[in-house]
Amino acid sequence: MSDFAELLDNLKKIEAGDFKANDLDRLRLVEVAKKLLNRVETQEERLFDIAFGQPIIFAALQTLVDLELWQQWARIGGGPKSVDELCELCTQKCDPNLLRRLLRLLAPVHMVAETGEDQYELTHLSPGNSWQLIQSRTHHWDGSCINLPKFLAKTGYKEPKDTKNSNYADWCPENLDFFGKCVAEPAYQDSFSGFMTAWARYKAPWPEFYDTRSLLEGADLTNGKALCVDVGGHHGIDLTRLLEKHPDVPAGSLVLQDLPEVVAGAKDLSGKIEVMPHDMFQPQPVKGSRSYYLHAVLHDWPDEVAVKILRNIGEVMVKGYSRILIVEMVLPPIGVSAIQSVMDVEMMANVSAYERTEAMWGKLISDAGLKLIKFWPDGRGNECLVEAELA
């Protein structure tokens, strides 16, 4: 027992900051810790957490979003505050004992830290400035996931592949699909954009696992020609990461494309990045770019739609010169990670789509008139860069 006590004491000392030099070791430890939890938890403990604990914990997180407490608290540094002081930070009047009970719920799951009687501070897990991750669940994921069992029963348990007759449209009061809802209600687009921005910050930057120098070598950037067109590029984080690695590329050689209501949220971009409103289902206006880049775009669509997106790009590519760079999950034959499997079924629930295996990517690329060059794994086991050219 003395050895066990020492083991527990050592485990308590481990923090995320200990792995700044090697994040892969941190990820390995997380996986081992999850497997340990799976081995030592009882069935009742696990199902209590899933069925009873997680819904009410999320409700508490969302309530503090509604009170704007996460945002206000993070703005002043997130340090220790009494319940009464936190009530003062809320943008709406809140009963102190209500807030006390919510914080008391969030402390054991480490969303806040209890620093004394009736006193709390933010932790590295607190939503803080990433509160849109919470809001996106309220707007999108909760409704679609709760509806999924009923929808699957209604369809005779067929795999959803119809982008219009989707599970999301089935639960949505206006019968809108996911992207239609985002267009119809800006708040829903904002929460989705916030989710995407926060999730993108977590991912491995693509210039770290793909040889971006190969794009510059032999690239013709004269007369305003493009180096990289980011199709469906949201707010431009991936082009920003490319520019950080290659700051000397000419202005205008990096082009950010997305729907007008999406790129309107692209703030503080470098002047070297051209922002171009564009619908990927329309003809591609930038001809002959060295590369066309799509990150987490094609997993939103089944193959027949994804082929149309790729063919629109293929029509303006230069054979032997232009590349298509697709950053997505590539599911392994066995040992699919929790992140990959969650994303796969979320795509099914929300947009009637899926994550693809290596074989599925090969078929999609071939069907679009392209030739696969190489898979570039991100080193973390989440995504790959799929490089292709005209066949």
Q: So what's the pLDDT on residue 22?
A: 86
The secondary structure of 64-131 as a DSSP string is HHHTTHHHHHHHTT---EEHHHHHHHSSS---HHHHHHHHHHHTTTTSEEEEETTEEEE-TTS-GGGT
Phi then psi for 169, rounded to 5 degrees?
Answer: -65, -30
Same domain, 232 and 344: yes
Same domain, 102 and 186: no
Work out the angle at residue 163's Cα, subtended by the Cα atoms of residues 279 and 171, and round it to the nearest 5 degrees: 115
Residues 352/162, Cβ–Cβ less than 8 Å: yes
Across the beta sheet with 291-295, the strand order is 273-277, 254-258, 228-231, 291-295, 323-328, 384-390, 370-377
Range of the structural domain that residue 384 is part of: 203-390
Q: So what's the pLDDT on residue 265?
A: 87
Same domain, 167 and 223: no
Same domain, 212 and 136: no
CATH of the domain at 329: 3.40.50.150
Q: Which of 146, 179, 201 is the last residue of a domain?
A: 201
Q: So what's the pLDDT on residue 1?
A: 60
Same domain, 242 and 371: yes
How much is the CA Rg of the chain, to the nearest whole Å?
23
Q: So what's the pLDDT on residue 2?
A: 67
Of all residues in the chain, what percent carry a pLDDT higher than 90?
90
Q: For 63-97, how does the pLDDT look when each residue is reduced to its tens digit (9 = 90+)? A: 999 999 999 999 999 999 999 999 999 999 999 99
Of 132, 181, 127, the C-alpha closest to 350 is: 181
Same domain, 107 and 46: yes
Catalytic residue positions? 299
Q: So what's the pLDDT on residue 61?
A: 97
Residues 314/369, Cβ–Cβ less than 8 Å: yes
Looking at residue 306, the DSSP 8-state letter turns out to be H
Q: Check pLDDT > 80 for residue 246.
A: yes
Q: For 122-157, how does the pLDDT look when each residue is reduced to its tens digit (9 = 90+)? A: 999 999 888 999 999 999 999 999 999 999 999 999
Same domain, 190 and 244: no
Q: Check pLDDT > 90 for residue 16.
A: no
Of 285, 205, 293, 281, the C-alpha closest to 254 is: 293
Q: For 311-370, how does the pLDDT look when each residue is reduced to its tens digit (9 = 90+)? A: 999 999 999 999 999 999 999 999 999 999 999 999 999 999 999 999 999 999 999 999
Same domain, 196 and 209: no
Phi then psi for 239, rounded to 5 degrees?
Answer: -70, -35
Q: For 184-226, how does the pLDDT look when each residue is reduced to its tens digit (9 = 90+)? A: 999 999 999 999 999 998 899 999 999 999 999 989 999 999 9
Same domain, 319 and 355: yes
Q: Average pLDDT, stretch 29-58?
A: 95
Q: So what's the pLDDT on residue 227?
A: 97
Computed over every residue of the chain, the mean pLDDT equals 95
Q: Check pLDDT > 90 for residue 372.
A: yes
In the chain, the number of structural domains is 3
Q: Average pLDDT, stretch 234-253?
A: 95
Same domain, 18 and 80: yes
Looking at residue 154, the DSSP 8-state letter turns out to be H
Which stretch of 6-15, 142-151, 251-260 has the lowest confidence by average pLDDT?
6-15
Q: For residue 390, how many other CB atoms are within 10 A of its CB?
A: 18
Q: For 259-270, how does the pLDDT look when each residue is reduced to its tens digit (9 = 90+)? A: 998 999 898 899
Same domain, 69 and 168: no
Q: Check pLDDT > 90 for residue 103.
A: yes
Q: Which of 154, 174, 201 is the last residue of a domain?
A: 201
* β-strand pairing of 384-390 with 370-377: antiparallel
Of all residues in the chain, what percent carry a pLDDT higher than 70?
99
Same domain, 148 and 187: yes
Q: For residue 79, how many other CB atoms are within 10 A of its CB?
A: 10
Residue 56: C-alpha distances to residues 51, 146, 193 (Å): 9, 15, 25
Q: Which of 129, 164, 191 is the last residue of a domain?
A: 129
Q: Rounded CA gap, 144 and 151, in Å?
A: 9
CATH of the domain at 103: 1.10.10.10
Q: So what's the pLDDT on residue 268?
A: 87
Angle between helices 237-245 and 186-202 (to 10 degrees): 30
Q: So what's the pLDDT on residue 243?
A: 97
